[in-house]
Amino acid sequence: LYTSALTHQRIPRIVELVKYVADQQSMRIQTSVLNELIRDAVSVNPPPSHRGKQLKIYFMTQADIRPPKFIIFVNDPELMHFSYLRFLENRLRESFGFEGTPLKLIVRGRKEEEDI
């Protein structure tokens, strides 16, 4: 947002924009909605495999707000390529906005005995 203190151009919009960004940071998304987003993202663009091993995404949950932090549970965190993580972040932004706020995406593995 470009403003001018000299001509007072767009100064009133600053307060509106700050409130909008604060609302975006405070957004909490249910795990079921995030899992639906993951299912759709994987169907459109499946995760890449590496040396014959396929990345499996089990679920995603929101751990915190301000900044929004999401935890993605997978079979092997080493298989998550940075570009696929960026793809998931872009899908989050397309679906829920989060304009003006950083997103933290954390990838965690699950133990073999916890696999379903």
Q: Name the more confident of 28 and 16.
A: 28
Q: What is residue 116's predicted lDDT score, i.e. its pLDDT? A: 45
Which DSSP symbol is given to 112?
G
Of 61, 58, 71, 59, give the one whose Cα is nearest residue 28: 61
| b/e 15-47 (16+ beta carbons within 10 angstroms → b) | eeeeeeeeebbeeebeeeebeebbeebeeeeeb
Of 25, 28, 29, 27, give the one whose Cα is nearest residue 100: 25
Residue 50 lies in a domain: yes
Residue 6 lies in a domain: no
- State the pLDDT confidence band at 1, using cuts at 50, 70 and 90: low
Mean pLDDT for the stretch of residues 81-107: 91
CATH code of residue 79:
3.30.300.20
Question: Percentage of residues in the chain with pLDDT exceeding 90?
Answer: 52
- Domains contained in the chain, number: 1
Structural domain span for residue 83: 11-114
Q: What is residue 7's predicted lDDT score, i.e. its pLDDT? A: 78
